[in-house]
Amino acid sequence: MEVSVTNISGKATSKKVSLSDAIFGIEPNDHAIYLDVKQHQANQRQGTHKSKERNEVSGSTKKLGRQKGGGGARSGSIKSGTKVGGGRIFGPRPKDYSFKLNKKLKRLARMSALAYKAKESNITVLEDFNFDAPKTKQYADLMNNLKLADKKTLLVLGALNKNILLSSRNLTNAKVVTASDLNTYDILNASSLLLVESSVKEIENLLSN
């Protein structure tokens, strides 16, 4: 699959980049995508939720009333979860929600997400570029030139570039990652995927092993 290379002015150049069919042209595996996205979201959960149970609530231990003859159900503690101000019955406790997935499955999920973007023609390849200093306006101008200012975009760099990363950070719909940090959730969450020339080779190297 050949894609024209675009410059930062939004104009097509004479160069073309070939996207590997073994990565961008596979039949997407929806279940692999589901598992990888589920793992990503689970790993983001802090799991610090906690409520007090009856043994942690402060209150008198005196029996509230006689065992029988009160006309209602027997009751032994004001800290019971059935009482106002009592402990929570089976309340949430701190929990680790993260789980592991096979590396091959995660790789298949990323390839499937990239294949979907390729099928939908939502991949743009840019010339390698750099900013002299971190400036949000420069990144905003780039998105305007590409006519993607109102869309959620994901720019994938071959290597970390602080000026580009910092320039994008204040824009709500823009995200910048390196090829090594690319994940299934970010690919699917973006309306348009932007790859620089160097990142194409890096992605193919990472996913072909």
How confident is residue 209, by pLDDT bands cut at 50, 70 and 90? low
Residue 71 has which token pair?
């006309």
11 burial (CB, 10 Å; 0-12 / 13-18 / 19+) is: exposed
pTM over 0.75: yes
pLDDT (tens digit, 9 = 90+) per residue, 89-138?
A: 999 999 999 999 999 999 999 999 999 999 999 999 999 999 999 999 99
Alpha-carbon distance of 139 to 169, in angstroms, equals 10
Q: What is the CA radius of gyration of the chain?
A: 27
How confident is residue 12, by pLDDT bands cut at 50, 70 and 90? confident
pLDDT (tens digit, 9 = 90+) per residue, 173-205?
A: 999 999 999 999 999 999 999 999 999 999 999
Q: Is the pLDDT of residue 49 over 90?
A: yes
The pLDDT of residue 74: 86
List, in order of start, the domains of the chain with CATH numbers.
Answer: 2-45+101-208 (3.40.1370.10), 50-96 (no CATH)
User: In this structure, are residues 92 and 51 in contact, taking their beta carbons and an 8 Å threshold?
Assistant: yes
User: What's the whole-number average pLDDT of the chain?
Assistant: 93
